[in-house]
Structure 1
Amino acid sequence: MGKRPARSSGDDAVTESRRRFLKTAGAAGALLAVGSGQGVASTDPSPEGATREAVGGDGTGGGSTGGDAARSLTSHEISSCTTITSPGTYEVVGDIASTGSGVCIDVQADDVTIRGNGYTLSGDGSGTGVGANLGATSGGPIPIRENVEVEDLTVTGFETAIGYEEVTGGRVEGVTARENGTGVSLRYGVTDVAVRDSMLADSGIGFRTVGSPNVYGGPENNTFEYNDVESNDRGIWLGLITIDHELSCNRIVGNRGGVLHSGGETRGHVYDGNVICSNSEYGLRNVDNPPEDGIPAFEDVVEATGNYWGASDGPSSIGDPATPYEDPVTGALADGGGDGVSESLDAGVSNVHFDPFETSSLPSAGRR
């Protein structure tokens, strides 16, 4: 069976043109309805929603700081909720408790590194722990931030632990995000950001991306590697208009759903060297969209060879059909005992290229 033709992720000139537009044009009309809220599950055309819902407000506060403890930053130490408006390296010097629906550590500058030094940022179930450029798309000219880094920080008890919006470059590394609505969220025009060596657990969603069908576009060319994603309602959710992400050497284990791609131009992703197992409903579910009301079908094949699915004989087929799905490239059947892969719009054919696969677990996968 032949491989389906690769889909282009878009011309670089078009992407640059969009960014120039965002810097000079305000959001108008229906775009204002998108708002600045981090809780944007309703914008995805997914057939299902997370069953564990975050409580509280919208998680961004339109760029406001979290709680009454907020203050303007005048030094390079962080001891309470604050707004960062200048480049530099900022050291967290103690545990911080945040209340309210705003952003506790609100980054509104380029070239910022936040060193958590092992301390904990805790919320009351609402708001965002660390936000980079959140509220950028809430109206008016849209700023593009560059090179925002967060490292060695524990974040717990927020609607969103760490959220980036319209940021180019940076990393989230050595972070532990537990008991949040979402662990790490990349929204709209986030590009070239690496999320690595982190623990995303016990939350509604471990790692999430989401774009917009309007001028904002979606996350592109980000990296997700050497992470532990476990015991979430959904481990990874790549949402609307998410393009060309590399996900390698992660442990995606013990979630209700392992990985969900929710259609709507979510394409071009590569999975390699991951352990995807013991997820109760599916390993990798890739949603294709049939033609509807004059809109052509959307189909994409996920490149996911070289992964371990929890059994030596490879993945199963979601729903345990009488005839297992075929690999779209090799024709191998997804008839193993591992986590399930999904079916394409072509009956009996998977939209996950899973063969060849690893026959035993990968010690190199997960947080180092």
Structure 2
Amino acid sequence: MVVVEKRRAVADIVEHPRAFVLVAVALVGLAGCGLSPAPEGAATDAQGPQPVDSCTTITEPGRYALTGDIADSEADTCIRIRSDDVVLAGRDHRVDGVGAFGTAGVVVRPDGGGPLENVTVRNVTVTGWDDGVRYVRVVDGAVVGTTTADNRVGLSLLNARDNRVADNVARDNRLRGVSLLEASANNTVVNNTAIDNALFGIHVVEGGARNNTLAGNTASNNEFGIAVVGAHGNTVTGNTAAGNRIAGVWLVAARDNRVARNAVSDQFYGVFLSDRSGGNAVADNVAASNAVGIRLRSSDGNRIADNTVRSSGDTAVLLISSDDNAVVGNVGSDNARGISVVRSAGNSLANNSISVSESGPGSGES
């Protein structure tokens, strides 16, 4: 029977060659258009992301997308992500709470002891929570293009490593805009805007928060623009801090950090090192129109080099109870005072050219 069927098939081809060619061409064309069946269990782009229209817990890998706003939620946590390899796309929708203590809008956190990997949250607005977006023990993830507003804390990473925090807006939060806490290390915080937060714009705290890079961010109209508290080995570079009430960049009990090429203006202190901050490099920054351009208090062994300090209402560079610092190669003009050293010893002042305004009390060149 098999031989007979084969012969019939060959005969059909011989008798109707044109029909056979047309069918063959059509099948090849369909295969070329990507319409061949997908392997069993494989996801395809045609399937699209899984819709999310209410508070939920995500426990499987995949792509998810908000389909609308979630408003006035009274949930303890609205969206929980508990799986590796997840993308949550907000599509510019809002996850909104009622401001209750202890609540959170979006939390990415493993159920077990190990970390979560490769989780991205993007393009969502999170408002009205105790914590807006929180990553806990997440590695190789990303938070991109979110807005966190009117929370206690906007966006925070805890014990999170090798994540990218980029192009987010954190504004009008009651405590902090963006925070890296505990052992959060090797993260990149880039091109974010932290504005009008009650205390900190961008905040890196605790000894385990190491080797993070803060670059190209804007921190304005906060109490402190960028604060590095008890954290070591971080890089703060190319940021703009303007109009913060106390300091543009503040290091407290922080060691071996690099603060470079930042623009700090219109606050009480441009760059402020305090309370046993040592071994830090403050270089190539522009401090303009602050009361004090660069201030050290109880901070030893730092290098303050090649900064431009101008239009300081009180003092360009001020050292108080700070020993063994190198203040070299700094320039500036139109400051009320140049370099002042008070109750300090062993400091090296060399090759600075910081002039004072004509109405200033004295020369600052050294």
Shorter-chain TM-score tier: 0.5 to 0.7
Q: Residues 153, 354 of structure 1: CA spacing in aligned structure 2 closer, same or farther, 3 A cutoff?
A: farther
Query: Does the alignment pair 1:270 with 2:270?
Result: no
Over 3 Å counting, the alpha-carbon distance change for 1:100 and 1:322 in structure 2 is closer
* Distance in 1 separating the partners of 2:84 and 2:240: 35
TM-aligned CA distance change 1:245 to 1:267, over 3 Å = same
Q: Tell me, yes or no, if the aligned pair for 2:224 and 2:244 is still in contact at 8 Å.
A: yes
The equivalent of 1:255 in structure 2 is 222
Instruction: Give the letter for the 1:84 counterpart.
Output: I
Question: What SS does the corresponding residue of 2:83 show, helix, strand or coil?
Answer: coil
Report if aligned partners of 1:286, 1:342 keep a CA contact under 8 Å in 2: no
Offset from partner CA, 1:320-348 (integer Å, 9 cap, x none)? 68995499324568864579999999616
Rate the CA distance shift 1:345–1:109 in 2: closer, same or farther, 3 A. farther
For structure 1, the residue ranges without an aligned partner over 5 or more in a row are 1-74, 212-217, 289-298, 358-368
The one of 154, 163, 167 aligned to 1:183: 154
Aligned equivalents of 1:342 and 1:237: distance in 2? 24
The code of the aligned residue for 2:87 comes to: T
TM-score, normalised via structure 1 length: 0.62
Residue number among 97, 101, 105 corresponding to 1:129 in the alignment: 105
Corresponding residue to 1:193 among 163, 169, 176: 163
Pick the aligned partner of 1:147 from 118, 124, 149: 118
The residue type equivalent to 1:310 in the other structure is S
What's the C-alpha RMSD, in Å, of the aligned pairs? 3.6
CA distance in 1, matches of 2:169, 2:176: 12
| Contact in 2 for aligned 1:192/1:221 (Cα 8 Å) | yes
Does 2:86 match 1:118?
Answer: no
User: Quick check: 222-231 or 328-337, which moved more?
Assistant: 328-337
Q: Is this contact kept in 2: 1:316–1:337, CA < 8 A?
A: no
Which of 221, 239, 243 is the equivalent residue of 2:205?
A: 239
Contact 2:135 / 2:158 at 8 angstroms: preserved in 1? yes
2: CA distance, partners of 1:220 / 1:322:
29
Distance 2:169 2:310 in 1: 28
Q: How many residues align?
A: 257
Do the aligned partners of residues 91 and 346 (structure 1) sit closer, same or farther apart at CA in structure 2, a change above 3 Å counting? same
Q: Deviations over 1:211-269 (max 9, x none)?
A: 1xxxxxx1110011111110002111211121111111111111111122221xx1111
Task: Report the Cα offset of residue 97 of structure 1.
Answer: 2.4
271 and 324 in structure 1: CA distance in 2 versus 1, 3 angstrom threshold: closer
Percent identity over the alignment is 26
CA distance in structure 2 between the aligned counterparts of 1:183 and 1:143, rounded to whole angstroms: 25
Matches of 2:258 and 2:328, distance apart in 1 = 5
Relative to structure 2, which stretch is displaced further, 239-248 or 322-331? 322-331
After TM superposition, give the deviation of residue 100 of structure 1 in Å.
Answer: 3.6
Q: Over alpha carbons, which structure has the higher Rg? A: 2
Contact 2:293–2:317 (8 Å) recurs in 1: no
Q: Secondary structure at the match of 1:304?
A: strand
> Is the CA contact (8 Å cut-off) linking 1:305 and 1:353 kept in structure 2?
no
1:156 paired residue number:
127
Counterparts in 2 of 1:83 and 1:324: CA distance versus 1, 3 Å: closer
Is contact 2:228–2:252 with CA below 8 Å preserved after alignment?
yes
Amino acid of the residue matched to residue 217 of structure 2? N
2:155 match: secondary structure: strand
Q: Which amino acid aligns with 2:126?
A: V
1:275, CA displacement in angstroms? 0.5
Structure 2: tracts of 5 or more residues without a match: 1-48, 275-290, 333-366
Aligned to 1:25: none
Q: Tell me: higher relative CO, structure 1 or 2? Use CA pairs within 8 A at least 6 residues apart.
A: 1
- Rounded to whole Å, the distance in 1 between the matches of 2:57 and 2:186 is 28
Hey, what's the Cα distance between the residues in 2 that align with 1:180 and 1:251?
Answer: 19
Name the aligned partner's letter for residue 54 of structure 2: S
State the distance in 2 between where 1:354 and 1:99 align.
Answer: 56
User: Residue 347 in 1 paired to residue 302 in 2?
Assistant: no
Q: 1:149 to 1:251 in 2, by over 3 A?
A: same
Q: Per-residue deviation at 1:285?
A: 1.6
User: Partners of 1:341 and 1:81 in 2: how far apart?
Assistant: 52
